[in-house]
Structure 1
Amino acid sequence: MNVQIQTVHFDADQKLLEHVQKRLDKLKTFHDKITGVEVYLRLENLSQKVRDKVAEIKVSVPKRSLFAKHESKGFEESFDQAYDSLVAQIKKSKEKMFA
């Protein structure tokens, strides 16, 4: 499984990167044929005052790609919400495969 983590408009600290990597390692338990994962963490400016933290995750499995995006006031929260959404998509996709 090829994992790419990109940060846009900021430099991520080691704690955040470890949190993301730890959660991504668990994806293998939901689907054993994941070929790649792309994570984008970025700051989004709205009206030049509020800076929301946006997490986007794209997971590639044979014959399809799954995508989730979430934004909140913290990167961990944004990533965890997007991750939970992706896990649900993976489970649903796997059910359809075997149905």
Structure 2
Amino acid sequence: MMVNVHAVNLAVDKKLVEYVQERMDRLEKYYDKIVSSDVYLKVEKTSEKENKFVEVKVNVPGDDFVVKKQCKTFEEAIELSAETLERMLVKRKEKIRSHA
């Protein structure tokens, strides 16, 4: 799957990009018609520890799924986003199967 990583106002290292790619690729186990995904990484300048924002947009034929998470680390936010997307994709697959 094609994964586009967009870092807003920060530089991301190769390891984080590889982690994002690997985690997004695992979503294909749940729904194999994923076209692409966009991952936006942002750091808000706040006094809170949970200042890392991740927004994941997954494109599937006829729909887009968007998940936003805020955590202490990008890895944690990506993991939570992926888990939410897994549930959404499984629901979509079951819905399509019940209509077919």
Q: When the two structures are superposed, what TM-score results if normalisation uses the length of structure 2?
A: 0.89
Identify which range, 65-74 or 50-59, moves more after superposition. 50-59
Partner of 1:68: 67
- Please show how residues 1-99 of structure 1 align to structure 2 within 5 Å: 1-46=1-46, 49-50=47-48, 52-99=51-98
Shift of 1:50: 3.1
SS at match of 1:18: helix
Q: Deviations over 1:26-67 (max 9, x none)?
A: 122111111110000110123xx3360011111111111111
Letter in structure 2 aligned against 1:78: A
Q: Which amino acid aligns with 1:57?
A: V
Show structure 1 runs of 5+ residues with no match. none
Bigger proportion of residues as strand? 1
Structure 1 segments (4+ residues) deviating >2 Å? none
Q: Tell me by how many angstroms 1:4 deviates.
A: 0.7
Q: Deviations over 1:69-96 (max 9, x none)?
A: 1101111001111111011100011111
The gaps in structure 2 that reach 5 residues or longer are none
Q: Paired residues, what number?
A: 97
Cα separation, 1, equivalents of 2:21 and 2:61: 22
The amino acid that maps onto 2:48 is V
